[in-house]
Amino acid sequence: MDSSSEHSNHDHDSLCDRERWQMVAFESPQVTDFLCPITSNIMRDPVRAEDNFNYEREAIEKWLSKHSTSPQTDEVIGKTLVPNEVLRMAIESFNTHSSVEEHLITW
């Protein structure tokens, strides 16, 4: 398999994972706290930005490299990011103790 195929499969897997998590979030609203507001993906390295919202570190760093405003409020914010260990542990616990499929709507 060439690298473009691997990349394509990774993108497809990410999309499927994102769609599954979005369905879970619809059924279990508390899970929405686990999703990055920029990527809509479950966060693996959540950080709190100066706007007091949580983001996936890579996504907010990329955003802040091009913008000086919050992606949520559109107000000016600094570049300080604080790891959110409590949220990271909650996500890890949720992942460990339940599968996404357990939370999906049965059609």
pLDDT digits (tens, 9 = 90+) for 54-87: 999 999 999 999 999 999 999 999 999 999 999 9
Closest CA to 48 of 6, 3, 37, 17: 37
Rounded CA separation 52/74 (Å): 13
Q: Would you state the pLDDT for residue 21?
A: 61
Give how far Cα 54 sits from Cα of 11, 50, 70, 93, Å. 23, 9, 11, 18
pLDDT digits (tens, 9 = 90+) for 30-50: 778 899 999 988 899 999 999
Rounded CA separation 32/34 (Å): 5
Rounded CA separation 51/60 (Å): 11
Label residue 93 by pLDDT band (50, 70, 90).
confident
